[in-house]
Amino acid sequence: MKRHVEYTWRLRQVMAGRGMNNLSELIPHLHERGVSLSSSQIYRLLGGTPERMNLVLLGALLDVLDCSFEELCPTTVVATETRHRMTGSAAPTATTEAIRPVRARIHRPE
């Protein structure tokens, strides 16, 4: 089984729960904590799901919103079945030997 992590980004919902409905309300709070982002960068944080994030920014968001990581970004680990492939390194069985061609032999004329 192969395991991978799935997550949802809930920044807009957490902000709304704290009474912040506009991205301009978030910028001064982040600036107080030493994080300087443009309004377009914060807009992308609100509108999309980030794949990578600076830990200083994450810590500042958690502090500004007074929430835990699980409230902001709930995660789940999902196990998926892996497909088995036939490789040439497997021991031959009766069915695989029947599929393989017989090696050709070349006889030189005398």
- pLDDT bin (cut points 50, 70, 90) of residue 87 is low
- pLDDT bin (cut points 50, 70, 90) of residue 88 is low
Q: Helix, strand, coil: what percent of the chain each, to 5?
A: 40, 10, 45
Task: Determine the distance from the C-alpha atom of residue 98 to the mean position of all C-alpha atoms in its chain, rounded to a whole number.
Answer: 44
- Number of structural domains found in the chain: 1
| Residue 30 belongs to some domain of the structure | yes
| Residue 33 belongs to some domain of the structure | yes
Instruction: Count CB atoms within 10 A of the CB of residue 26.
Output: 22
| Residue 77 belongs to some domain of the structure | no
| Residue 61 belongs to some domain of the structure | yes
| Residue 93 belongs to some domain of the structure | no
| Residue 56 belongs to some domain of the structure | yes
pLDDT at 82: 76
Mean pLDDT within 14-37: 91
| Residue 39 belongs to some domain of the structure | yes
| Residue 92 belongs to some domain of the structure | no
Contact by Cβ (8 Å): 63, 31? no
Say which residue the tokens 């377009």 belong to.
Answer: 40
Q: Domain of residue 34: give its range.
A: 11-67
Mean pLDDT within 51-76: 93
**Among the residues of 1-110, which ranges form H helices?**
11-17, 27-32, 39-47, 55-65, 69-72, 94-99
Task: Check whether 8 has a pLDDT greater than 70.
Answer: yes
pLDDT at 62: 95
* Whole-angstrom distance, CA of residue 73 vs CA of residue 32: 23
